[in-house]
Amino acid sequence: MKTHVKALVVGGGAVGTSIAYHLARAGWDDVMLLERDELTSGSTWHAAGLLPYFNMSFATTHIHDHSIKFYKTLEEETGLNAGFAVVGNLRMAQSDARMDEYMLYATTAETCGVPFEWLTPAQIKERWPLVRTDDLKGAIYHPTDGYINPADVTMAMAKGARQRGVMIERKWQVDSYTWTGAHWDVGITKMVEKGGNLVPSEETSVIHAEHVVTATGNHAQRTARLLGIKIPAIPVEHQFIVTEPDPALLDYRKTHDQHPVLRDADAKWYVREERGGWILGPYERGAPARFEYGVPDSFRADLFPLDLERIEEEYMSMIHRIPSSETVGLKDDFNGPICYTPDGNPLVGPAPGLRNMWLAEGFSFGITAAGGTGHYLAQMMTEGEAEIDMASLDPKRFGSWQTTEYAARKNEEAYDHVYVLHHPDEERPACRPLRTVPAYERQKARGAQFGHVNGWERPNYFGPLDAPDSFDHDARSFRRGGWWQYAVDEAKAVREGAGLIDASAFTKHIVKGPGATAFLDWFTCNKLPKVGRINLTYALTDKGTTRTEYTIVRLTEDEYYLVSAGAWTDYDADFLRKAAQDKAADFGYIEIQNVTTQYGVFAIAGPKSRDVLNAVIKDADPATALSNKRFPWLSMRDIELGMCPVRAIRVAYTGELGWELHHPIEMQAYLFDLLEKAGAGHGMKLVGARAQNWLRQEKSYRAFGNELGRDATPLEADLPRFVDLSKDFNGKAAMQATGIRSTCITVLIDGPTDADPWGREALYAQDGSRVGRLTSGGYSVAFGKSIGMGYVKPQHAAVGTVLKVRMLNKLWDATVTEDSPYDPQNATIRKDG
Ligand SMILES: Cc1cc2nc3c(=O)[nH]c(=O)nc-3n(C[C@H](O)[C@H](O)[C@H](O)COP(=O)(O)OP(=O)(O)OC[C@H]3O[C@@H](n4cnc5c(N)ncnc54)[C@H](O)[C@@H]3O)c2cc1C
């Protein structure tokens, strides 16, 4: 066996095999795959093989789309038939809300070019008479969707990989990983059969690999232990049952093609044909997590016993939907481990803290995702970045604060939520509250309805004081939910008076030391601020796209305070640390401190915000302490509010006069009381994240993860004022070479009276051609209509262009505005007083 390779892939399931194949296809000719048992012996062998397109995420839809297209080419390449049945996929709706969900999904699907049709209950009945339709509202149908044989598609990928030079070695288990500074020494052991178990033999070896990819499926917890990191991928039990042949189906099939895969989301199941009978795959309540601390040696290609009682409701509802299935008996059952993560998406990308170590773990739709994952991960590894933004799948989106218990309970919840209504304003309840700021109970007592950001509880909006526990759940909608008016009132308060926003979740880093200035000058694309001043700036990828947005405060000549998005703390910290380590030899010693949990942040904003602060500021001359002269816009000062020392930064993400008040977290409750009391005289309102999100769109402020990401450069985000082309910085040449593929715009929408966009909708030119997509959406209190931000081809970005946006399955006018339609001159932000 070869012992020196460019890339070692660990795990021979669908995912690992696809990655090995795609690395070879991308041009790496020294790739090895190790599998501790047989290929497909993990979850892959017992998957039902469905390839559902449906997904609310732009990145994941691209991944699924790529898989489906790729699988269709495999037979020609390898001569192996993977049993790809393109039978279509019929997603039925029992309620109007479910139809709303499909309409939102459909406009997202359009942004990726995924084909679909709408069907009425009568049309369903006409095509598939075995389906009961009298209680349906309609359905969305994907003609190109279908199912495949999971083992066969894996074997076809393995054959394709071998043909491209990949070495596939079975019965070798990876037992250790050691980073030498230049490559990984991977300790492996030959596995042998003993009494039905697979056990380690005495035969060992070491593989030297420049890059390692782990795709270890249900063994992710062992992989995490070997690597000394956290991987919140823990399997949950998942069952499907196979019935005997259904005479009615056999009869129907004499004159018809195969049934499409049926999905009755409201009943929580999928059904497909299998040799004249049916496969029922339920996503029932109460499926337990398994193997929290690792897979026992005795568990190989095994299954758990069927728990029919747990899926009785779904079974009965299949009989309701397909009445002919009532009389057919059960032929077979499968109850296997299916890997999940706390948000249900896999973990794909660089491992936290490690070099050249890539994770591809936590796949719950791994057959569907394998092809696309291989393609995009290989792009990341061989070219530096994928063509789509993979941040939503990045392993570091989950913080290091997470525990096994958290991951297990959240993963059970993610399984349980596969078929719930995927409201964009959904907040999932498991494991909460967990990370709370000292003002949490006070906010709660004032009606806060909290969202969950990287584990933090953050107010989304302030609802009624006497709200029942179910208030937020019942307020959710694909249209304007029961919370909408609260957010409107909060947004108005900021525009007209003053609002106090809890922004404590922000990621905060101190960067200091003799190398700090030169490093940050190279690391970010804008000029560095002078001492006491701040700048908005971007760290770029090697491809010139946006990796992180920072507000940089220069505290001293060699010390900086960096503030970035709260949802991305570990993602940002890892990138910053690795870059600083790489550059220390060039620039000198650079110290990085993650101080996220040391500081709370309140953002106070609105024309009366200065008055509120003036009432509590302690200063030799309080009347002028916050004036433009002593505290200009885009500057920082250490001030004292009552007894609380505050690092105040004069910026406001809402685009009003305002300050961010960074304070010692342990003094937060005191500061909250102080500001609340002072604000009472000025009508100050507590304001949540939803209103803030709307307000920032009126100012065209780009949000990280929406307008800013690894698929667009800051120039494409139309932010040339924050890019200093007179200096050299990481990614500059690539950014310039990329040009402007599409450009960021803000639109005001003459839309429906009961709905706003969510930032996933497709945009069209007047002639009906698709020209881009929204990345943010909401309601503008300043303009009294819906607002959105997004990307279009440059020729459609001129101010005044009237585009069309698809919402609720209709096209609505969306007019491109100037950047910052509200207060374009920044007069209110700069107001003196
Ligand atoms: C009942 C059921 C039905 C399903 N139906 C579908 C479906 O219809 N569609 C769909 O898309 N998905 C489905 N899934 C999910 C799907 O099975 C998984 O998402 C997919 O198989 C994951 O593939 P993988 O390659 O990540 O993991 P696995 O297939 O589990 O492969 C991981 C491999 O890594 C090996 N390994 C682990 N540790 C080591 C080590 N240290 N050294 C060497 N090798 C190692 C293991 O032996 C294993 O072979 C279903 C799952 C279940 C349980």
32-59 pLDDT tens trace: 999 999 999 999 998 999 998 777 788 9
Bridge partners (DSSP) listed for residue 772: 763, 792
3-state secondary structure of 532: coil
In 748-770, which positions are buried (b, 16+ CB within 10 angstroms) versus exposed (e)?
bbebeeebbbbbbbbbbbeeeeb
Any ligand 1 atom below 6 A from CB of 121: no
Shortest-distance atom of ligand 1 to CA 338: 53
Tracing tokens 């406009």 back to the chain, one arrives at 107
3-state secondary structure of 171: coil
Any ligand 1 atom below 6 A from CB of 515: no
Do the beta carbons of residue 99 and residue 291 sit within 8 Å?
no
pLDDT at 459 over 90: yes
Any ligand 1 atom below 6 A from CB of 272: no
What value does the mean pLDDT of the chain take? 97
- The whole-model pTM stands at 0.96
For ligand 1, atom 4, name the residue with the nearest CA.
47
For ligand 1, atom 16, name the residue with the nearest CA.
366
Give the pLDDT band of residue 428 (cuts 50, 70, 90): very high
475-502 pLDDT tens trace: 999 999 999 999 999 999 999 999 999 9
pLDDT of residue 52: 86
Closest CA to 280 of 235, 320, 250: 320
Which of the listed residues 43, 284, 300, 415 should we mutate to test ligand 1's pocket, taking the one with most ligand atoms within 8 A of CB? 43
Q: Which two tokens stand for residue 802?
A: 């009237």
Do the beta carbons of residue 660 and residue 649 sit within 8 Å?
yes
pLDDT at 238 over 90: yes
Tracing tokens 């970010």 back to the chain, one arrives at 524
pLDDT of residue 137: 98
- Phi first, then psi: what are they for 74, rounded to 5°? -65, -35
Angle at 325 between CA 321 and CA 331, to 5 degrees: 135
- pLDDT higher for 54 or 698? 698
**Rounded CA gap, 538 and 718, in Å?**
13
Which of the listed residues 191, 338, 359, 418 should we mutate to test ligand 1's pocket, taking the one with most ligand atoms within 8 A of CB? 338
729-741 pLDDT tens trace: 999 999 999 999 9
Give the pLDDT band of residue 301 (cuts 50, 70, 90): confident
**How many C-beta atoms lie closer than 10 Å to residue 521's C-beta?**
17
How close is the Cα of 217 to the center of ligand 1, in Å? Answer: 5
The string of DSSP letters for 478-525 reads SSS-TTHHHHHHHHHHHHHS-EEEE-TT-EEEEEESTTHHHHHHHHBS
185-233 pLDDT tens trace: 999 999 999 888 899 999 999 999 999 999 999 999 999 999 999 999 9
How close is the Cα of 203 to the center of ligand 1, in Å? Answer: 26
Task: Provide the CA 718 distance to its chain's centre, in angstroms.
Answer: 23
Contacts of 239 (CB under 8 A, 6+ apart): 281, 282, 284, 287, 306, 307, 310, 311, 333, 334, 335, 336
Any ligand 1 atom below 6 A from CB of 50: yes
592-626 pLDDT tens trace: 999 999 999 999 999 999 999 999 999 999 999 99
Shortest-distance atom of ligand 1 to CA 188: 42
| Stretch 772-785: mean pLDDT | 98
List alpha helices for 132-246, DSSP H: 150-163, 220-227
**Rounded CA gap, 75 and 87, in Å?**
18
Any ligand 1 atom below 6 A from CB of 672: no
Helix (H) or strand (E) holding 191: strand 184-194
Indicate the angle between helix axes 484-496 and 689-698, nearest 10 degrees.
60
| Stretch 415-433: mean pLDDT | 96
**Rounded CA gap, 368 and 314, in Å?**
23
- Phi first, then psi: what are they for 177, rounded to 5°? -130, 125
Whether a cis peptide bond, with omega within 30° of 0, leads into 433 is yes
How close is the Cα of 2 to the center of ligand 1, in Å? Answer: 26
